[in-house]
Structure 1
């Protein structure tokens, strides 16, 4: 994969002069300490039509390689394809045997959760974040202003650099592991301000790093109504969902990640029932393979949303406080 993203794709935009000025201004300041400060938070109306998110995405396409060039000890462009049938069950002899930890369910952005978790465990290995990915298109609709979880990861970080088009579309039981993901923007509520450069306060070498495991749920599974609950119509979908979760957990353990930020895999626009997904996570996390102390901490970052308003409550009921 080429390590250069051509800025020529932006020439049709009327704001190209401003963008180029910002890029060069930020690049000049990458080797110096910027004045502390944050961009003024923008209202929800600012992002109403998605056009400003498109601009954020295009700016990130230029800024991410510039920042990566200042970090020679990592490789944000590299992703590893992981296949469940090539990952045998975990070997208990390699288990770090951590003390049992209670699962936390938090109503926040996945990267905010990862940064908060990392701050609590400063001397532990890097946090691994689950990216609930689109298996057909790198980054889902992030270049068009979409607002799902994968897109928010791409707006705020270097993740998209590693989502090479050659991997797509990928098989159902495949995922992408990206070890080096640089977090370089504040969250949407803060206006997606850059953490580095003329509008930020952090030198590139001190930007937060996370690892990301990208796993894609099946789109629009068949569901049925049973009393007051929406459930999978076919047990095969339940089994497939649990297999994807095993892929995520096996990869995390094999890569030495004891700090995990997971999520409501497939809930929202992909149409998976929240109760089913939460119960799948519960069953898989309690399987003998994952018992015995593989994890230092597990958080589920589950945001409220127009299409998933009840999801945080469901996940809290099913998972919060569960010891694994």
Structure 2
């Protein structure tokens, strides 16, 4: 039987070797670190009102719920020349989460396939993102984000990634943000210094917290000019966030950003036995598609004007 963790760790060691020795990837890492942005929760980064009408009054984003992995979902758009942003469901206290130890959560999967990890694992990001989260010891974390443009994808987004042909490598933008960690014991090897007690928060307060955080994600992705936004079951895996609440918040927040993107895809990878997250998003986003596409033009523009006024 394959030791999954050891196999994952071995794949990541190969990924490290490649981005440290392959000239194109070495340069990609250098540029990624240079162009990367830290956006703290106290930083003012409100989208310009113009982004709400860039695509025309009558155009609204196509909303998709798929069972794909995050990079798998992003690839088809990127190959069509679209500017694509993928949300990285991050560890707030460890770059790449448990990727060096062979963990299998979404962030680790992204890091095994791309040049993202060395961009996150820098002195600047430790100073601004990881150490402050460790010092807080609050497993609810905060709304800090990291935006890493032009990340190179050079391995397949599969159970055990393999190198893809060099002429098939592609690029994507990654937005790193941590969901609240609602585990009974928040700290572990992948998320050290996350606190030693379960967070105490009501469903109502959790919804408010997620609303602020997810709104930040949409604002940054829109401000950076992305045409496609790939999201998913943010915090619904290892961090134990209730999928029904998370899906509802994404639905609610998304309404103010429907004219900012061509496509918003919720990539909710699942096995045959674990479909709760996928079903929650499919049910919620089914309502989202209907509620926006069935609006009249006047109703839709009223929503746009309201969104701009809120900012």
Normalising to structure 1: TM-score of the pair? 0.72
Q: Which has the larger radius of gyration?
A: 1
1:62 aligned onto 2:22: no
SS in 2 for 1:261: strand
Q: What is the correspondence of 1:208-247 to structure 2 with a 5 Å cutoff?
A: 208-220=170-182, 233-247=202-216
Distance 1:88 1:146 in 2: 33
Q: Which residue of 2 aligns with 1:115?
A: 75
Q: Would the alpha carbon gap of residues 103 and 306 (structure 1) be closer, same or farther in structure 2, given more than 3 Å must change?
A: same
2:142 to 156, 172, 177: 172
Q: Would the alpha carbon gap of residues 152 and 77 (structure 1) be closer, same or farther in structure 2, given more than 3 Å must change?
A: same
- The structural deviation recorded for 1:70 is 5.4
Distance 2:273 2:6 in 1: 21
Q: Would the alpha carbon gap of residues 260 and 295 (structure 1) be closer, same or farther in structure 2, given more than 3 Å must change?
A: same
Q: What is the correspondence of 1:10-159 to structure 2 with a 5 Å cutoff?
A: 46=2, 48-67=3-22, 69=24, 72=27, 75-78=31-34, 79-95=36-52, 96-98=54-56, 99-119=59-79, 122-124=80-82, 126-159=83-116
SS in 1 for 2:17: helix
- The structural deviation recorded for 1:202 is 2.1
Q: Would the alpha carbon gap of residues 207 and 217 (structure 1) be closer, same or farther in structure 2, given more than 3 Å must change?
A: same
1:258 aligned onto 2:227: yes
With 270-279 and 169-178 compared, the bigger mean Cα shift is at 169-178
Aligned length: 256
Normalising to structure 2: TM-score of the pair? 0.75
Q: Which residue of 2 aligns with 1:30?
A: none
Distance 1:209 1:111 in 2: 10
Q: Would the alpha carbon gap of residues 236 and 68 (structure 1) be closer, same or farther in structure 2, given more than 3 Å must change?
A: farther
SS in 2 for 1:117: helix
Distance 2:178 2:273 in 1: 18
Structure 1 alignment gaps of length 5 or more? 1-44, 196-200, 223-231
Q: Would the alpha carbon gap of residues 155 and 70 (structure 1) be closer, same or farther in structure 2, given more than 3 Å must change?
A: closer
Q: Would the alpha carbon gap of residues 102 and 82 (structure 1) be closer, same or farther in structure 2, given more than 3 Å must change?
A: same
Q: Would the alpha carbon gap of residues 69 and 267 (structure 1) be closer, same or farther in structure 2, given more than 3 Å must change?
A: same
Structure 2 alignment gaps of length 5 or more? 134-140, 185-200, 293-311
- The structural deviation recorded for 1:89 is 3.5
Q: What is the correspondence of 1:198-209 to structure 2 with a 5 Å cutoff?
A: 201-203=165-167, 207-209=169-171
Greater per-residue helix proportion? 2
SS in 2 for 1:50: helix
Q: Would the alpha carbon gap of residues 213 and 308 (structure 1) be closer, same or farther in structure 2, given more than 3 Å must change?
A: farther
Q: Please give the per-residue CA displacement for 1:44-80, whole angstroms capped at 9, x wherever unaligned.
A: x53x441111111111111113235457477133431
How large is the Cα RMSD of the aligned pairs?
Answer: 2.4
- The structural deviation recorded for 1:258 is 1.6
Whether the aligned pair in 2 keeps the contact of 1:268 and 1:307 (CA below 8 Å) is no
Q: Which residue of 2 aligns with 1:23?
A: none
Distance 1:123 1:213 in 2: 19
Distance 2:233 2:18 in 1: 30
